[in-house]
Amino acid sequence: MHVITAIKQQIKQRGRYSVYVDGAYAFSLSEAGLIEKRLASGQELDAGALKELKKAAGLDKAYGNVLRYVAMRPRSEWEVRDYFRRKGIDAEYGATIISRLRELRMLDDAQFARSWVANRRLLRATSKRRLRLELAQKHISENIIDEVLSEDEVDERDTLRELVAKKQSRYPDRQKFMQYLARQGFSFSDISAVLEEISSDT
């Protein structure tokens, strides 16, 4: 049998506790994990229980790190899975964490996509084609992208007019300006129509 000889709050991470077994450091748990496992000094553990606790500790630490990652800003499911890959979090832990985050509604690709579109609309004039590309780069499914962009009621030409007003002075050459606008994802027909509007107004 093994014995928990001490449980000490960590200095650098105040929300985590180091658990010592048989006088030596064995693993660490968050405060919530410690309460969930009902651990206490003097508690006896057999080899199987100790192994399971170490496994739970690994998941607990990974989960805490991922919570901080998703709290920074909304993340797509692909971004979280890529985080697992970069941090070396194994597939079993990853699947469990993904399930937890979904239950907490902290991981929802449809909500992520809506938030992404809303934020981009606030920051700059962005075409729907560009938004589609950006969401695809986050590995959002095509069905979700179609749904979210169908909900976006921003008029494409109004967005283009806003961008033209901001950038026109930087592009005295009309052809180069049209190329720039096309690179932003606007259609040739919309670009031509908006530039014609402006020419007729001046």
Would you kindly state where each structural domain of the chain is located, as residue ranges? 2-103, 108-154, 158-202
**Dihedral angle computed from the Cα positions of residues 44, 47, 50 and 52, in that order, rounded to the nearest 10 degrees:** -130
Chain segment 174-194, per-residue pLDDT in tens: 899 999 999 999 999 999 989
pLDDT digits (tens, 9 = 90+) for 49-105: 898 899 889 888 888 889 989 988 899 999 999 999 998 888 888 999 999 999 989
pLDDT tens string 165-176: 888 888 888 899
Residue type, 87: K
- List, for residues 106-158, the tens digit of each pLDDT value: 999 999 999 999 999 988 889 999 999 999 999 999 999 999 999 998 899 99
Would you list the DSSP string of 107-140? --HHHHHHHHHHHHHHHS---HHHHHHHHHHTT-
Phi-psi region of 137 (alpha: psi -120 to 50; beta: other; left: phi over 0): alpha
Architecture of domain 2-103: Orthogonal Bundle (1.10)
**Closest-CA residue to 25 (of 48, 44, 41, 7):** 7
